[in-house]
Structure 1
Amino acid sequence: MSPGDDANRLAAEARARVLIDRQLTDAGWSVQDSRSLNLFAAQGVARREATMATGHGRADYLLYVDQQVVGVIEAKPEGTPLSGVEWQSAMYADGLPPDVRLAALAKDGRLPFVFEASGTETHFTNGFDPGPRARRIFNFPKAATLAKTLRRKDEEHPTWRGKVTALPPLDTTPLRPAQIEAINGVEQSLREQRYDRSLVQMATGAGKTYTAVTLSYRLLKFGGFDRILFLVDRNNLAKQTMAEFENYRTPDDGRRFTELYNVNRLNRGPMPESTALAISTIQRVFKALRNEEVGESDDPALDGWVPDTPVTVAYNSDIPPETFDLIVVDEAHRSIYGQWRGVLEYFDAHVVGLTATPGKQTFGFFKQNLVSEYTYPQSVADNVNVDFDIYRIKTQISDQGSTIEAGTVVPKVDRRTRAQRYVALDEDLEYTSGQLDRAVTATDQIRTVFETFRDKLFTEIFPGRSTVPKTLIFAKDDAHAEEIVIQVREVFGKGNDFAAKITYTARNADQQLAAFRTSPALRIAVTVDMIATGTDVKPLECVFFVRDVRSPQYFEQMKGRGARTIPAADFQAVTPDAKQKTRFVLIDAIGVTEHDFVEPPLNREKSVSLQKLLQKAANLTITEDETATLASRLAALEHQLTPEERTELDSVAGGSVRNVVRHLVDAVDPDRQAEAIEGAEDPDSARQQLIIDAVKPLASNPDLRARILELRRVHDRVVDEVSADVLLDAYGVVDTSKATSVVESWREYLNKHRAEITAIQLLTEAKERRISFSDIKELADRIARPPYNWTPDIIWNAYVALDPQFATKSDHRTLTDLVSLVRFTVGVDDKLVPYVERVQERYAAWLAQQEQAGVTFTDSERWWLDNMVKVIANSAGIRTEDLDDAPFIERGGTDGALRDLGDRAAELIDELNSELTA
């Protein structure tokens, strides 16, 4: 090397040291020369040019924490490949001079903390890790961070990378199989430490957030993790995630997560020491790193913002790179690994991605480390989600655009102010379908689409229904959403509470979203992006696209809003004329389903009956599309079965019918087929063999096929809308023989099952425990099974046929009327009175007692009491948590009750339950 080259190298190394000095100083280290050494100047001291033991040369920096040597830095010129100089820093690490105080040595007898740095790149090896390995970090850690590790030096595993190798077995009791696989997959990835990133693919609705909460709890309690960052895609999802953590009960002692660990929203400035888990969007993290104000309230302008170019970040001592040990990216946004990856890579943390729809960029960021995979069809097979159908609405304007002739007077709307003025066009205006609802709004096109939806809704889309299903419409922008809301209300002839816009600019968007989940009145919501990812609206049955989506990941997220399953009772509470949710319908008014990336539903052969599908399975002549359809039909049936019917069907099958469905789904999965045909001489035969193996449990078991068809007939009701009827006669004769049979059979049933059904026990004997709605529901489910097939209406109408005095104003009975029926039949009550009337009578008497006692209620207090009584009448009681559902949520939920009723709120609930229920 020439003298000139040597001088250049020294100059480059000097420049690197200037940068390293600055980085150390930013992290709170006191950088000193040996001749002016003061180990008490700061908790962390970086000593330049320290002479090492004989034969080991001079270390660029020795690091002291609390006056004791803990580490070494080897400085190299900018651009030097640092992995090639690790031997040199290692030499310094085990060649200490005799005149230094050692804080601790790593297990290999060297200094525990070894760094290589060039000013633009820093590598760090922690000697307390199992199999210590250098990793790239954004900046030197603070001295306090190293001190924390040193305090654990006597533990078997001082760092989380060691502790995760000895995690206790996972309690699988509350978890689904896919959740178990995901948690085990991440933990195995952490143990192996092959990568610093893990990707979990889980279908929408499969419980990704609950999985992440369970994982977070295990890593905080057993894995040595100090703090976790939970990234969500939207601010409204931050609230949903916070609720998940608040409601999570730990499997060991049953306490809530938030009773054990502090969970906070991320804000600007130093992280509170007590924070174990921070929830944020990546946009808020970016602003906090830049020391920009991040308020407690959400910023709609920030939510979902994606910068034009990849972001860069600088060191922030308030939020240093070592702040988090784990970052969970939930509902990973498609841009997070592109424009935002600089924020993720700032932190020295393991990153876990949770998504239903990973793309190539996602796989690339996570280094192809897919630790578990759970597809949408698999989730349908497991009854985690429901299958979907596609209904296409196509109009001439939406397909081809249109032309407005010159001279036509048209309204023009200012995008910013929405002010409208009228102008005459001075030339023809020709617009394409792509310009529709952006540059041009065609009101009749919108009207035609929703008139078609209205007219086909109860004949083709949901035949036999009469209530508009919960429908979510995806609009192109806020102005388009505004126009749709107006048109939908007009087309259906409904008021403001029927359809609402739920976007970031809408007032009370969160309250409207809550109402959309629980209110029977709000049937249609129009959104742009706010409900596009992650947000649960379980009763949703129609996902309506009037905007095109060209991202397969985003489309799947939007489609997935309708996939959630929901208990039948909860579903009927908001959609009374529906029995169970077994599917949803994707309504396409723009052509979004015609993109190549759209996968078809499982239910592909709608014209083929279940009986024919089973027969083709028995004959081994079933096709791939028919196999998928059979899986969809069986999954829907399995979802409708009672627990007793499911157990009985499994016994006929000789195993789990759900597993049979899962095998059918796997047989038509493209990835499974690709594995099967790899290297096969005849790919078609190999693919067909997959299907034959999957249908074998059905093909070889005639009893199973017969029982499936019997159960389908029990749970299906055919609606004949084609045959015209003719009146033959009408006259007033009452046949009481059938009614007598029903009443006598009902009385015998109550006597026979008095000892085994809780509801009958509580209503016929002197019990202190109040009957619960679940007890009533159990009785209703039992009597609805063959051979009885009773409902409260059937039994009540039998009594009316025998004695008209039992007739009521309403012809419809509720489940709680079973209470009245049981009490009257066994002789506890001498009159058969609807449960609602009985509750109202007792409520009136209770109010009279309160008045006599000098207690009066304001109008606001009466609103709460009156609505509590309505809940009691329909559910045989009210719980405190019911106050956070409709209609109470409209007045603030539990907080509103405490505000208006004061400290007596809980006491009043208990008193009403005691005085008004059976």
Structure 2
Amino acid sequence: MTPEEKARKHIDHQLAQCGWIVQHRDEMNIMAGLGVAVREFPLKTGFADYLLYVDGRVAGVVEAKPEGHTLSGVEVQSAKYNAGLPDNLPHYHLPLPFAYESTGKLTQFTNSLEPYARSRDLFTFHQPAELQRLVELEGQLRGNLREMPVLNTEGLWKLKIETLTNLEKSLAENRPRSLIQMATGSGKTLTAVVASYRLIKFAKANRILFLVDRNNLGKQTLNEYQQYVSPYNGYKFTEEFNVQHLRKNLIDPASKVCITTIQRLYSMLSGEDEYLEENEESSLFESEPSTLLKEPLPVVYNERIPIEMFDVIIIDECHRSIYNIWRQVLDYFDAFLIGLTATPTAQTIGFFGGNLVQEFTHEKAVAAGINVGYDVYRIETQITSAGATLSSQPDVFVPHRDRRTKQTKFRELDNDLTYTANQLDRDIVALDQIRLVIKTFKEKLFTEIFPGRTEVPKTLVFAKTDLHAEDIVKIIREEFGKGNDFCQKITSKTTGKKPEDLLAEFRNAYNPRIAVTVDMIATGTDVKPLECLLFMRNIKSAGYFEQMKGRGCRIIDSDSLQSVTPDAKHKTHFVIVDAVGVCEQDKTASKPLDRKPSVSLDKILAAVAAGVVDADVVSTLSARLARLEQELDDDQQAAITQAAGGVELGTLAGNLLTSIDPDVVLQSAVETFDIPDGEEPTAEQTQQAEQDCMKQAVKPFHDPKLRDAILNTRRALDQVIDEQTRDVLIDAKFDAVALEKARSLVTTFRQFIEDHKEEIEALQILYSRPYRAGLRYGQVKELAQAIQQPPLSANAERLWQAFRAVEPERVPGLGGKQLVDVIALVRHALDPQQLLVPIGTTVEQRYQDWLAEQSAAGATFTAEQRQWLDAIKDHIAGSLSIEEEDFGDVPFNQLGGLGHAYELFGDRLSEILEELNARLAA
């Protein structure tokens, strides 16, 4: 065949797939179906390669070119045909509204009903019903986007208004991809919900797809849609439009928003009727298969999910390099792409064509008071850093724990066992290493990490594996002397309660105080009261690490925080407790994964579970399983056979190998495509047959029970428990970066009070020498509120900790708990030689001095008078002054009020109040 004939053959096939009846001019029957494509149709201006009839009327043309031909130069030819329709032919519009240019490999499309119509690349052709829908619309989507009503800003703060405005401008300009960078906690999902509402209501978008990383984030996203109330009519989003969170491989025709994972979407495009929810529970960061593959996953056309199914695709967490291999899934649809991320990579920005419509980083979020910053507290132990050696001794029995059953058996070691830090909690469990980290964390928690606190702050511990998490939970409960409710494991393998229920308790209830996870809460999950992250696993991916850190940065109002952590005044920052050096090691832009046979079996199985169907992966998996079969005993073989529904491991491996056998694939292609004798299937047909064979062969591995059974036998079945080696604490302190942050905050604070000494009344008074008048509580409150705003975004407690870190010799104790302590901070900043002590401590000392002077002068006070004087002192310590009208409040009204005060002190009352105001808080 000539190149043109090959192109026509491909185009014929694609048109037929998309529901078009392809006919020759001499045999045409335009009423044979809704969509008829007539080849070689004569027009006034030449022959159209294909004239498209929709419901008996002409709607557009297809211009065919050989593979390799550039299509942009064909647009003029298509436009000429669009305008050359014979006068007597039934049609929708003139010129014809729709034009395709295609080589059978590449296709582009122009809708001339759109303003400033320009061509765009398509995966294939639209179905006839879509062209009928488009041609009958009052306004096209891209036209509607240019006429959106002014944004209703009710309930929206500045960042969201700016983001939505920029996004709608980008869409109105017909930019196909838009990237939104918004720091964790700044409202990405809600912004996307508002955008969705306006796109559906005003731009008349037919359907929107919202892609999430894993299933529980889909539930959170659905909740955001359910809670959103329209400022235009007062209806909730889900009362006005149908929102579907996909649990099965079926899209509700009535849905306006579909929420799902990209792996389920790929499963649906692949024609699978089912996809297990268990395969959507883990973050794709944990099982990232992208570097296993040389190219993106292949996608074929599915008539049940045509390219026009979605007008807009919102991609949450789009920074992930996982989208390298899923790229064709995104390119499949004729849709605008909107990316959401807190941490874009250069590759992400490149994918979105550099169209960054919002750039709101974590640093900007901290400065704006939307995020809180963090400090790093490093706990370093000998075993964590260097491993250890477990000695083999006669008659000394060492525990060995079975990974599957968790049962422990005791036996002698054959030889000394030297293990490295990388083997910890996988092959070797050094219980004293875990215990020393937790013990140190507990001992330093209220003295250094969160000084002055008495309640364990909400803490999230990142473990290496589910079994490691079990060990950590047990030791935390023992070291803190608490019960089951205090510390809970929240992973995809948690039983009893659903992980989302435990997560809700962690977020909203007093207990658990500490949650231990592997990756269930690593990304995207919103736990605002979280103040501490304890890393007991290392992370090599820079993006993943940033996402994990993001769990702690969300702000929360003081009342909500205190409802779960009663002694926490404000959330001013969070602390990363680094027990493995995770903050010290270099990170890669994406998780490294060797393509060679050294790739771990769990990564290969995770890639298959996520939907990867690739000859290299299938071949590697087959070889691994064949080797594994030789290593297993009868019991292990039986366990795998049972998990596989009666299929033996050797058969599973053989099926994988057969699926990529060229002869088998060729025969499958011949049968599938009904190739006549003597002819060969095309390369595309052979490739499709291979894909189908491989999909069938890997299907059993979609079941997590089979994957777990294989991995439990592949790994060393026993973990050696090192009970002998005592770990040694090397160091426990805030790292140099935290100290530098403290210095920066102190410097910024000093500059702040210098810059605002003429504007803020409290600073005017404190700068005067001597102080011109006593400070009023309202003036102090004004100062405290100014400090909480950018650029400081701090409070008295946070500033106090910074001064204590920088000048420990001048800050003897804790402080900053009372609002008035900001005065002590300003005085110390103005006179660094003056010790920084809480206002309450200063007032108490001055009060005792005053009492001593009174005693020396012969004045005595009864017990009831002392009770009143102590109460007056306490009021001054909290409010800086006292007046007679304050006696109507607690506790004075409980002591008898102003009348009783005069009965006790007589005419001296006014004199005493004036004297104490001047002496105690001046």
- Matched with 1:176 is 157
Counterparts of 1:230-629 in structure 2 under 5 Å? 230-266=210-246, 271-294=251-274, 299=279, 304=284, 305-307=287-289, 308-309=292-293, 310-332=296-318, 334-407=320-393, 409-507=397-495, 508-596=498-586, 604-605=739-740, 608=743, 613-615=748-750
522 and 718 in structure 1: CA distance in 2 versus 1, 3 angstrom threshold? farther
- Residues of 2 paired with 1:111 and 1:378: CA distance? 50
Counterparts of 1:204-243 in structure 2 under 5 Å? 204-243=184-223
Aligned residue pairs, count: 675
Deviation at 1:335, TM superposition (A): 2.9
- Residues of 2 paired with 1:87 and 1:498: CA distance? 71
- Residues of 2 paired with 1:453 and 1:175: CA distance? 40
Deviation at 1:650, TM superposition (A): 10
Cα distance per residue 1:623-649 (max 9 Å; x no partner)? xxxxxxxxxxxxxxxxxxxx9889945
645 and 364 in structure 1: CA distance in 2 versus 1, 3 angstrom threshold? farther
Residue identity matched to 2:864: T
Secondary structure of 1:328's counterpart equals strand
- Matched with 1:126 is 111
Does the aligned pair in 2 maintain the 1:268–1:292 contact within 8 Å? Answer: no
Answering whether residue 151 of structure 2 is matched by residue 162 of structure 1, we say no
Cα distance per residue 1:798-852 (max 9 Å; x no partner)? 567669xxxxxxxxxxxxxxxxxxxxxxxxxxxxxxxxxxxxxxxxxxxxxxxxx
Residue identity matched to 1:48: R
Residue identity matched to 2:379: I
85 and 558 in structure 1: CA distance in 2 versus 1, 3 angstrom threshold? same
Answering whether residue 77 of structure 2 is matched by residue 97 of structure 1, we say no
- Matched with 1:192 is 173
- Residues of 2 paired with 1:92 and 1:709: CA distance? 79
103 and 399 in structure 1: CA distance in 2 versus 1, 3 angstrom threshold? same
Cα distance per residue 1:421-480 (max 9 Å; x no partner)? 333222222222122222222111000000000111111111111111110001111111
- Residues of 2 paired with 1:488 and 1:740: CA distance? 46
Deviation at 1:297, TM superposition (A): 5.4
- Matched with 1:658 is 789
Answering whether residue 48 of structure 2 is matched by residue 68 of structure 1, we say no
- Matched with 2:730 is none
- Residues of 2 paired with 1:462 and 1:489: CA distance? 20
Question: TM-score, structure 2 length as denominator?
Answer: 0.67
Residue identity matched to 2:183: A
Deviation at 1:224, TM superposition (A): 2.6
Does the aligned pair in 2 maintain the 1:387–1:603 contact within 8 Å? Answer: no
- Residues of 2 paired with 1:344 and 1:337: CA distance? 9
- Residues of 2 paired with 1:339 and 1:247: CA distance? 34
- Matched with 1:78 is 67
- Residues of 1 paired with 2:349 and 2:556: CA distance? 32
Does the aligned pair in 1 maintain the 2:745–2:792 contact within 8 Å? Answer: no
Secondary structure of 2:192's counterpart equals helix
Secondary structure of 2:418's counterpart equals strand
20 and 608 in structure 1: CA distance in 2 versus 1, 3 angstrom threshold? closer
Secondary structure of 1:473's counterpart equals strand
- Residues of 2 paired with 1:94 and 1:103: CA distance? 13
Cα distance per residue 1:359-388 (max 9 Å; x no partner)? 122112111211111111211122111121
Deviation at 1:706, TM superposition (A): 7.9
- Residues of 2 paired with 1:260 and 1:738: CA distance? 67
Residue identity matched to 1:62: L
Residue identity matched to 1:142: Q
Does the aligned pair in 1 maintain the 2:376–2:737 contact within 8 Å? Answer: no
Does the aligned pair in 2 maintain the 1:183–1:211 contact within 8 Å? Answer: yes
- Matched with 1:736 is 864
- Residues of 2 paired with 1:71 and 1:558: CA distance? 51
Secondary structure of 1:422's counterpart equals strand
Does the aligned pair in 2 maintain the 1:300–1:505 contact within 8 Å? Answer: no
788 and 211 in structure 1: CA distance in 2 versus 1, 3 angstrom threshold? farther
Cα distance per residue 1:202-224 (max 9 Å; x no partner)? 11111111111111111111123
Answering whether residue 30 of structure 2 is matched by residue 29 of structure 1, we say no
- Matched with 1:847 is none
Secondary structure of 1:14's counterpart equals helix
Does the aligned pair in 1 maintain the 2:750–2:829 contact within 8 Å? Answer: no
Identity of aligned residues (%): 46
Cα distance per residue 1:95-149 (max 9 Å; x no partner)? 12234211113xxxx2111001111211111111222111111111111111111
Deviation at 1:737, TM superposition (A): 4.1
Counterparts of 1:849-868 in structure 2 under 5 Å? none
The unaligned stretches of length 5 or more in structure 2 are: 590-734, 756-776, 795-821, 831-835, 852-860, 898-922
- Residues of 2 paired with 1:420 and 1:373: CA distance? 53
Does the aligned pair in 1 maintain the 2:182–2:359 contact within 8 Å? Answer: yes
69 and 217 in structure 1: CA distance in 2 versus 1, 3 angstrom threshold? same
- Residues of 2 paired with 1:26 and 1:260: CA distance? 34
Residue identity matched to 2:79: A
Does the aligned pair in 1 maintain the 2:183–2:362 contact within 8 Å? Answer: yes
Structure with more relative contact order (C-alpha pairs < 8 Å, separation 6 or more): 2
Deviation at 1:355, TM superposition (A): 0.7
Question: TM-score, structure 1 length as denominator?
Answer: 0.67
393 and 143 in structure 1: CA distance in 2 versus 1, 3 angstrom threshold? same
- Matched with 1:825 is none
Does the aligned pair in 1 maintain the 2:261–2:280 contact within 8 Å? Answer: no
Deviation at 1:509, TM superposition (A): 1.1
- Residues of 1 paired with 2:588 and 2:739: CA distance? 13
Secondary structure of 2:152's counterpart equals coil
